[in-house]
Amino acid sequence: MKTFVNRRFAPRIYSQFPVPISIIYRGQKSAGEGIVQELSRVGCRILGSNDSMVVGKTLSVQLSLPTSERSLLIEQAIVKWAEGLEFGLTFKQLQGREAD
């Protein structure tokens, strides 16, 4: 009997949190708004509002966190996957404040 190994998904190092956080994202030729559906220290899953994302695209993102009066700005986030209006981002670099 053969054992099926799912190679599509990698084990996660960081926990994900299902949180409804507003996000504004900007690229060189596009911008939009969305809702963060899952968030971790290394990335997030977003339901976007207007256009489909292209894998490999670099965005800057601004998160409106419910626990802070200030928005969180992440200068570089890379689109890792995209399907319809949903897409996943990997954060390129986080400073101490952003990671916390």
pLDDT by residue for the chain (100 residues), tens only, comes to: 555 454 554 445 444 555 678 999 998 888 899 999 888 888 889 998 766 788 999 999 998 877 778 888 899 999 999 998 899 999 887 665 555 5
Distance CA 97, CA 49 (A): 27
pTM of structure: 0.72
Decide: residue 20, CB within 10 A, 0-12 exposed, 13-18 middle, 19+ buried: exposed
How many helices (H) and strands (E) are present in the chain, helices listed first?
1, 6
* Residue range of the domain that includes 53: 21-93
Q: Is residue 2 part of a domain?
A: no
Residue holding tokens 């809702």?
35
Which pair of structure tokens corresponds to residue 89? 């981002």
Question: In angstroms, rounded to a whole number, what is the distance separating the alpha carbons of residues 85 and 50?
Answer: 7
Work out how many domains the chain is built from and give that number. Answer: 1
Tell me, what CATH number does 38's domain have? 2.40.10.220
